[in-house]
Chain A
Amino acid sequence: APAMAEKMGLGRAALPEEVASWDHDVSPDGTGLPEGSGSVLYGEEVFADACAACHGDFAEGVDNWPKLAGGMGTLDREDPLKTVGSFWPHLSTAWDYVHRSMPFGDAQSLSDDDTYAIVAYILYSNDLVDDDFVLSRENFLEVEMPNADGFILDDRDTTEAHFWKAEPCMSDCKDSVEITMRATVLDVTPDEGESTEDAAL
């Protein structure tokens, strides 16, 4: 432990109940998971009520809202589809995030059992479990996430070591320069005039 300075004596002791009220994070090893369980079938009902308006009946996403299912095997393609099934390394993250921050606009309204059920349904939507699956604290770590090994630590110091170069080129760095792409071809920048009016002071 680091050397500690003298304490100021400010603040007060946190009560265990207070810590329990705010401390809901769940770690990849299952630390933080509460007792409880939920089935795919029940999850389908809860999802239809609480989630499907944005994320679709099958977690496939509506309009521009996030897709939670699909995209398997697309990560090395031109336009990867990163979902819970195709991308997320840990199931703990899905439980933790849904439980604390979803539904969007009505967060922290889901019970522990509801959360288990929704996560079970998301797994089912990603073809990772059968329709009779029941997710619980006991079997939580048995679920294998397809992209669990898909992450490496930041390696910029080695793979981009050539960016640390003492003397950059100052003259005759290349023979010619051609414009290869123009933003105005896409023309997706908001119009200056229109927005200025909205923002008038």
Chain B
Amino acid sequence: MSDTHLKNASRRQFLSGAAAVGAGTLAGGAVHAAGDPLIMETQDFAAGLGVGVDETPYGLPIQFEGDVVRRNVEWLTADTISSINFTPIHALDGTITPQGCAFERHHSGAIEMSKDEYRLMIHGLVDEPLIFTYEDLERFPRVTRTFFLECAANTGMEWAGAQLNGAQFTHGMIHNMEYTGVTLRTLLEESGIKPEGKWVYVEGHDASSNGRSIPLEKALDDCMIAFKANGEALRMEHGYPVRLVVPGWEGNMWVKWLRRIEVVENAVESREETSKYTDVLENGIARKWTWVMDAKSVITSPSPQSPIKHGKGPLVITGLAWSGRGAITRVDVSIDGGMSWQEARLAAPGQDMALSRFYLDIDWDGSEMLLQSRAMDSEGYVQPTKTELREVRGLNSIYHNNCIQTWHVKTNGEAENVEVS
């Protein structure tokens, strides 16, 4: 970075106003001799009437937020039915993902089934195989907890290099919701587990079935059968009316439209845990059962889809951090490509296996930056660089890319997805 002058923001300089918002044209809207017409003239919305309370029984975001939507990348998959789209994380803040723009991943499309049509079967190595209706499930004692769901393939297109230009595309196979439902333990206790039972095999009502094997220990620990997310019923595309919640583990295991839980002695080694969701190493050997999503973070703004438009001066750097192994304890941010780091501020203490929001307020001097964030979790895990990951895994793992992301912010405020030495 020899040709670029990078400097850490100085808090003292910021407070003293020495680097004062240089560009007057950018501060507080345009200044006219006769005053700002948005203030000096009566606006229609200040004189006329807005819409009535019967206008929108269930509302969508205001039209000006029309770009805060899920996006797909056509070339990634053969069709849109077994495919993925991306959460607009570059435009969101806080930690809760609005359900309407929370990413989707289907293997045979989002199916439409009613609560009346819903059945859940528990069988196999159990004392009593059982069938539950949706109504039955609502009668069990409930729990409410917030977790992130990250697709195992999130950031997977970036293994070989910087490819997609935006946090939505590089890191948007993720959402974070407050789930309400019943613990899987509660349901398994209802049927009783035989001593030979060591795994549960779970599958969905859809044609793909998405069957996965989960060790009984995890099933009895913190898995949930969820029927509410962020306060309301699950969206169709997220598994309405019932999905599995597998905290901290790869999204593929969060089986949607859950229809069957079979207690078995050995893993089924289904398609989704052999052909897919196995991670090929450099020597051609593949890891299987890489369930946990490791500590990871990304700066959501500034980022390629969220450039700096306000010029020099105060700048909010913000992003998300999460870990499947526990809570986020700290996030460091670098503006010089990892040569030096400063600790960011967490919006709230980290919660186990949930998104954390971080902020770093700097005084941008208008020079180029190479922005990075580095998450640390309660297990002492420090988010690695892509180079460190490649040294262990090579380039063909597809899944579980939790490397440090770099955004190159140019002097004009635009940002680009880059790799650095």
Contact = CB atoms under 8 A, between A and B. Distances in A.
Given A10-B139, A151-B288, A159-B392, A183 B418 contact: yes
A181 B419 contact: yes
A87 interface: yes
* Residue in A101, A108, A172 whose Cβ sees the most chain B Cβ within 10 Å: A101
A134 B81 CA distance: 34
Interface residues of A, number: 88
Nearest to A154: B290
Contacts of A186: 161-163
B71 to A, nearest CB: 6
Contact of B121 (A19, A82, A181, A188): A19
Interface string B305-338: 1000000000000000000000000001000111
B396 A80 contact: yes
Query: Interface of chain B, helix or strand or loop or mixed?
Result: loop
Contacts of A22: 121, 259-260
A18 B131 contact: yes
Query: Interface of chain A, helix or strand or loop or mixed?
Result: loop
B319 to A, nearest CB: 17
Nearest to A199: B69
A155 B195 CA distance: 27
* Residue in A10, A19, A164 whose Cβ sees the most chain B Cβ within 10 Å: A10
Interface string B21-33: 0000000000000
Interface stretch (B36-44, B228-236, B267-275): B267-275
Contacts of B264: 27
Interface residues of B, number: 113
Interface string A1-25: 1101101101111100011001101
A108 B2 contact: no
Contacts of B166: 189
B287 A155 contact: yes
Contact of A78 (B163, B395, B408): B395
Interface stretch (A43-51, A91-99, A112-120, A122-130): A91-99
Given A26-B268, A96-B268, 5 more contacts: A19-B121, A22-B259, A75-B286, A154-B287, A162-B388
Interface of B: 1-2, 60-61, 63, 65-67, 69-75, 77-78, 81-82, 107-108, 121-124, 128-133, 136, 139-140, 161-166, 169, 186, 189-195, 197, 201, 203, 207-209, 211, 216, 220, 259-260, 262, 264, 266, 268-271, 274-275, 278, 280, 282-292, 294, 304-305, 332, 336-342, 370, 374, 376, 379-384, 388, 392, 395-396, 408, 416-421
Interface of A: 1-2, 4-5, 7-8, 10-14, 18-19, 22-23, 25-29, 54, 63-66, 75-80, 82, 84, 87-90, 92-93, 96-97, 100-101, 104-105, 107-108, 150-156, 159-160, 162-166, 168-184, 186, 188-190, 192, 195-196, 199-201
